[in-house]
């Protein structure tokens, strides 16, 4: 069965990675029923692409962390099904990108690896477990202009990086606080960590992304990722709606919570810190 994507490469002509993004899009297009969205034309005349951008699952291909393609998708309010970052892929495959704009054999090797992965049937091993986490919490609220910042009053611990943990038995849910989702505004993409992977306290536990920025989820606890909130893959906006309830990020089997706890804040301390951050930084 042929795949059918809308492909939005950054097509950055001033960088090797941008040139590779274009080749990946071409290769996927040639080997499937997909269509390429030209970012240049799309920006000035979007009528040409509105239909395919809405009907087909969208793959955004950024060359580098400037994320031109992602930002364009955000500007046009597109739903992103999958994201590729060429620079990250190069690192993961031990291929060093060079400064020349003409692609060499190594670059084409990378093009083939990425395109083949996209063309393969995806096998998703993501599971959500039914554990006993409450669905509703009580909040203390801090308001600034039209923005509302909620912090749950009981049972949560926080780190200075605005991520929370809620523990039930030897398992915990982690996520971000209202401060993060308000600062990012509309969250359009969630990159989960691999289920089964081990995370140290303060290690990266996935990323969430808006048109404004990429936020690294800083894990408040150490342990093994046992589940991710798969609803976020299609509806990352759940984090904006309520990051403590339906917008939780992942579940972790704890390895040493007693020790982790020493480097975390309770509600009282975090609420003070958050209020100060809101007053100083939130505009």
Task: List interacting residues with other proteins (CB under 8 A).
Answer: 15, 64-66, 87, 159-161, 200-203, 207, 213-216, 218, 262-263, 280-281
Residues 52, 76 contacting (CB under 8 angstroms) = no
CB of 261 to other proteins, least distance (A): 11
Smaller CB separation from other proteins, 66 or 82: 66
Q: Is 144 in a helix, a strand, or coil?
A: strand
CA distances from 195 to 16, 204, 249 (A): 32, 13, 12
Instruction: Name every residue whose Cβ is closer than 8 Å to that of residue 283 and which is 6 or more positions away in sequence.
Output: none
Smaller CB separation from other proteins, 136 or 281: 281
| Rounded Cα distance, 226 and 251, in Å | 6
DSSP letters spanning 62-109: ESSTT-HHHHHHHHTTPPEEEEEEHHHHHHHTT----S-SS--HHHHH
CB of 45 to other proteins, least distance (A): 26
| Rounded Cα distance, 91 and 88, in Å | 5
| Rounded Cα distance, 69 and 42, in Å | 11
CB of 89 to other proteins, least distance (A): 13
Task: Sort 13 into a burial class: Cβ within 10 Å, 0-12 / 13-18 / 19+.
Answer: exposed
CB of 47 to other proteins, least distance (A): 30
CB of 280 to other proteins, least distance (A): 7
CB of 263 to other proteins, least distance (A): 5
Smaller CB separation from other proteins, 52 or 214: 214
Smaller CB separation from other proteins, 64 or 238: 64
Smaller CB separation from other proteins, 92 or 213: 213
Smaller CB separation from other proteins, 154 or 280: 280
């Amino acid at each position: 069965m042929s795949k059918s994507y809308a492909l939005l490469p950054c097509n950055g002509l001033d960088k090797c990675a941008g040139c590779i993004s274009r080749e990946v899009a071409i290769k996927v297009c040639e080997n499937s029923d997909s269509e390429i969205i030209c970012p240049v034309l799309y920006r000035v005349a979007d009528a040409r692409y509105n239909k395919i951008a809405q009907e087909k699952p969208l793959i955004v291909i950024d060359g580098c962390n400037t994320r031109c393609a992602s930002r364009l998708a955000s500007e046009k309010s597109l739903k992103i099904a999958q994201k590729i970052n060429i620079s990250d892929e190069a690192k993961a495959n031990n291929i060093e990108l060079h400064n020349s704009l003409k692609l060499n054999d190594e670059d084409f090797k990378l093009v083939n690896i990425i395109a083949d992965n996209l063309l393969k049937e995806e096998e998703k091993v993501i599971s959500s477990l039914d554990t006993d986490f409450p669905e509703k919490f009580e909040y203390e609220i801090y308001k600034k202009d039209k923005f509302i910042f909620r912090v749950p009053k009981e049972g949560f611990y926080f780190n200075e990086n605005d991520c929370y943990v809620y523990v039930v038995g030897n398992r915990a849910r982690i996520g971000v606080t209202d401060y993060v989702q308000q600062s990012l505004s509309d969250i359009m993409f969630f990159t989960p960590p691999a289920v089964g992977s081990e995370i140290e306290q303060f290690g990266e536990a996935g990323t969430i992304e808006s048109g404004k920025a990429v936020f690294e989820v800083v894990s408040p606890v150490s342990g093994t990722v046992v589940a991710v909130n798969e609803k976020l893959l299609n509806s990352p906006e759940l984090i904006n709606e309520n990051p403590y309830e339906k917008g939780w990020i992942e579940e972790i089997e704890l390895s040493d919570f007693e020790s982790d706890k020493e480097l975390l804040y309770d509600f009282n301390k975090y609420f003070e810190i958050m209020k100060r951050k809101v007053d100083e930084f939130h505009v």
